[in-house]
Amino acid sequence: MKVNVPARIYQSYGRQLTIEGADGNRTMAGVFDIMGRLYQIEAKVPRGGSEFELTRFQQSLVFDRSVSNRTPEQIRAIREGCPGLVGVLNGAGNPVNPAGLDDPRCQPRR
């Protein structure tokens, strides 16, 4: 396991995983539990394959913006638990929302 971080698509929270096989291939997966259903998107690339294409496919999963697997209180707690992102804007000029309290962007900056 190379990466195991929280993931977020709009208001739906899940996990993003990257696994490197013994033969050098890589698998990237996004996993979400939405309204009692498990959604998984997985992309694989052989050794030497394009990391960009792997990421691009894996991040193509989209949910309706109104769907959420967290309550408004849980989302507020996640935002408040990540003070390092207060005032940070994304490329579109909107506030950055963490994917979870263990989002690497929430860690104190050194």
In the chain, domain spans: 1-65, 70-110
Full-model pTM: 0.74
Whether residue 110 is predicted with pLDDT greater than 80 in this model: the reply is no
Determine the pLDDT at residue 27: 93
In whole angstroms, give the CA distance from residue 9 to residue 105: 16
Q: Is the pLDDT of residue 17 over 90?
A: yes
What's the average model confidence in pLDDT over 60-66? 88
Given this model, what pLDDT does residue 109 score?
63
- Residue 59 near residue 5, CB atoms below 8 Å: no
What is the structure's pLDDT at 51?
A: 80
Half-sphere exposure of 61 (CA within 13 A, CB side): 24
State the Cα–Cα distance between residues 97 and 43, nearest whole angstrom.
25
The string of pLDDT tens digits covering residues 41-56 is 999 999 988 888 878 8
Give me the pLDDT at residue 86, please.
Answer: 78
